Chain A
């Protein structure tokens, strides 16, 4: 599902965020990506979701060689994956419902199908009652869950989450990780960046660890 071959990423600023990172994630796996703050976790996820391009190296995601993907194909590639962003990226002038519906609307899905899928996604993250509210009227944790609902409404084959439990208390955090595990049990490949070792110990799944942009461990 994901394959990185000798990836280097240097930001225009100058420092190297990733150097010589290689790993593969099989279809149907759930993998944790860990590392200290600034280790390059977000950078790695951005490369996989095509928000950034690597300076060197090759990335394959769901059969696409990202370096060879034409700009025209990029939107269609993004519809195959679901991304939970570290900073949520919700639209504050749209309701929770409209935010979650966005991946469906851009894909040309209309009417009842949208309502059904958005309600199902919001139900999964426990926010069905807040569908008509606006993101800024929600708590940080609730906003994060709206972001998760948006990442799953269009039923992606690959789910990428950047610190999805960053603002949540332990109970809610566990619930969200269990939700990801549930998606994974239904065949979705999941890659979660987190520095909470608690989840890693609890789920006993594979872990890829980064340190200062280098691979330090891959179980």
Chain B
């Protein structure tokens, strides 16, 4: 068993040595794999950032209830407090509403030109954002006296979530396709390597080398190239994030937000390298197996 591991380590070191001695062709392959992996990984990181952004939104303050003109704000608030699922209630009287609107919109003068306050009273209800509870609450509110209209502020967030879920699925599909591409890239590299070493393989077979013995260095090369491709993808990703940092920072500043991009986490980075390694191994295994079956023993 010890000898078995010693042999594997020996082959691994020999593979690494080969790679260091002939870096040219390997570098191209690694770069190709890096780009292939960086694309879905980059989209994935982008998606994570969007998700984080959507979660940072205040999900409370979910419902705006517009009252009929002349309906009593006090009575409405008192009634709504008693409904199940209501966390807190805030009443904005028509006058208050007008003031806030003037301040925030800069339409102050236009509105003072109106003879009469056009705004209804509004009750803003905070509620824990479970979709079922929300629908029930909306239905209950509609039957309250004095209620003209109930608007859920969560609708667009739900739409965003749905879009993000779609994006997530698309990234998965793209990732699977590009993972397949990676297998093909390494399969082809391995095939060329096997063909180049046909005489050596013949001789190894003639002196009693098993197919497993012949395969081993090619598998290590494939796995190593795949893993290094993963590292290359990480470098590309970090460089892209570095380039995006300042523009995003400026944009966030304009929105008075402290938002900044998050990079790929340690766990995901490790996953990327491991995926590269595994796909590299699979590509090499597939190609070398095919080649060895084609050449007669």
Contacts and interface: CB of A to CB of B under 8 A. Distances in A.
**Contact size class for A?**
20 to 34
A216 interface: no
Interface string B197-212: 0011011111111110
Nearest to B293: A71
Interface string A136-178: 0000000000000010001000000000000000000000000
A103 B208 contact: yes
A110 B213 CA distance: 14
Q: Of residues A77, A78, A102, A106, which shows the largest number of chain B Cβ atoms within 10 Å of its Cβ?
A: A106
Interface string A97-123: 000001100111010000000000000
Contacts of A77: 208
A75 interface: yes
B154 to A, nearest CB: 64
A132 interface: no
B203 A71 contact: no
Question: In the complex, which of the residues A78, A85, A154 has the most CB atoms of chain B within 10 Å of its own CB atom?
Answer: A78
Contacts of A108: 3-4, 7
A74 B203 contact: no
A78 B206 contact: yes
Nearest to B212: A75
Interface in B193-227: 199-200, 202-211, 213
A91 B4 CA distance: 25
Contacts of B213: 75, 106
A75 B265 CA distance: 48
Contacts of B205: 75, 78
A106 B7 contact: no
Q: Which of B7, B200, B203 has the most CB atoms of chain A within a 10 A radius of its CB?
A: B203
A108 B200 CA distance: 18
Interface residues of B, number: 19
B208 A79 contact: yes
B6 interface: yes
A106 B207 contact: yes
B208 A75 contact: yes
Contact of A74 (B6, B7, B200, B297): B297
Given A89-B202, A91-B203, A110 B208 contact: no
A83 B7 contact: no
A168 to B, nearest CB: 22
Contacts of B200: 91, 93
B209 A75 contact: yes
Contacts of A89: 202-203, 206
Contacts of A75: 205, 208-211, 213
Contacts of A51: 206
A14 B199 CA distance: 26
A158 to B, nearest CB: 13
Contacts of A154: 207-208
A77 B211 CA distance: 14
A187 B6 CA distance: 34
14 contacts: A75-B209, A75-B211, A78-B207, A89-B202, A89-B206, A102-B204, A102-B209, A103-B207, A106-B213, A107-B208, A108-B4, A110-B3, A110-B7, A154-B208
Interface of B: 3-4, 6-7, 10, 199-200, 202-211, 213, 297
Given A106-B204, A107-B208, 9 more contacts: A75-B208, A79-B208, A85-B206, A89-B202, A89-B203, A93-B200, A108-B4, A110-B7, A154-B208
